[in-house]
Amino acid sequence: MTRVVVVTGATSGIGRAAALEFAGRGDRLVLAARSTETLEQVRRDCREAGAAGVRDVPCDITEPGALDALTTAAVEEFGRIDVWVHTAAVMAYGRFEEVPAEVFDHVVRTDLLAAAGAARVALRHFKAVGGGTLILTGSVLGHITAPYMSGYVASKWGLQGLTRTLQQESHDLPGVSVCLVTPGSVDTPVYQQAANYLGRVGRPPLPIASAQRVARAIADCADRPRREVSVGRLNLIMRVGFVVAPGLYDHLVGPLMRLGGLTDRPVAPHDGVVFRPNPAGEAVRGGWLPDLPRLARAVGGQAASVGGAVLRRLR
């Protein structure tokens, strides 16, 4: 059966990759994000990828009433919601005391409180119609900590606790599932788009997963709901180290963060996309991994050109 899938944060990174993944599976989509022009492009891309129908709803999910309006738009367009995927998130780099309070607060408002709001409207709808799957996007930073990302870490720890609570409360609701997808480092633009008060542009520490890999994990949860799915080869190792050897972990995490989680590129203090979107910076990839499909197409094109030239010479 064709599903109706709501995706928040659909214009960039994991959200955009998830929208395209569900589109490729023939689902009907309701896409939400702040950037109207990018959302229109994602809508066109999803239609080309095979979506049975697409509705885009430009909105800021931190605004009062936005999530209720999104739910109403989805039901008016397609009659129901089967899967709600929440991926919207922003980040801010800096020592806690140097990040402006309003920036810290809005990171938490976006990454935790808006996720709670999405869960509230989704679960109310699922309870009313007799079933549905809520998929929240956490982070390995919901299980461990890292310096210079206090707002994001606090939000993801809160989201971890919220998800567990929702799973317990929905245990007796037939057909209702609550899932958490927990990625480690992912090749998305969120690091370049983050607010920054640290003086150096952030980057994802190695190893880095593709946004498409996380999107497949999200879509698989819609097919076969699970409590939590971890995406990242070192996630478990980092979690074990955080719990088993906290003193050693705290001693190493600062130098490792400065070495692997920050570039050498200087940057003046700025609030990134915390308060407003930057359409020019929105994409699936952040450029931290090679674009293998494009590379394969380029190599294939060159091989075809060489082959054609050889054939012409042989004739």
Q: What is the mean pLDDT of residues 254-273?
A: 97
Residue 26 belongs to a domain: yes
Distances (CA, A) of 62 to 35, 108, 182, 200: 14, 10, 22, 28
Q: What is the mean pLDDT of residues 37-49?
A: 98
Q: What is the mean pLDDT of residues 295-314?
A: 49
- The range of the structural domain enclosing residue 138 comes to 4-284
pLDDT in tens, 184-217: 999 999 999 999 999 999 999 999 999 999 999 9
Residue 68 belongs to a domain: yes
> Distance (Å, rounded) from C-alpha 101 to C-alpha 188?
26
Q: Total structural domains in the chain?
A: 1
> Distance (Å, rounded) from C-alpha 149 to C-alpha 171?
33
What is the reported pLDDT for 1?
80
- pLDDT bin (cut points 50, 70, 90) of residue 310 is very low
Residue 207, preceding peptide bond in cis (omega within 30° of 0): yes
- Strand 262-266 versus strand 200-202 pairing type: antiparallel
Residue 108 belongs to a domain: yes
> Distance (Å, rounded) from C-alpha 243 to C-alpha 98?
28
Residue 290 belongs to a domain: no
Residue 258: which CATH number? 3.40.50.720
Residue 126 belongs to a domain: yes
Say whether pLDDT at 272 is over 90: yes
Residue 195 belongs to a domain: yes
Say whether pLDDT at 295 is over 50: no
pLDDT in tens, 129-149: 999 999 999 999 999 999 999
Percent of the chain, pLDDT > 90? Answer: 91
Q: Counting every residue, how long is the chain? A: 315
Residue 306 belongs to a domain: no
Residue 293 belongs to a domain: no
Q: What is the mean pLDDT of residues 245-263?
A: 97
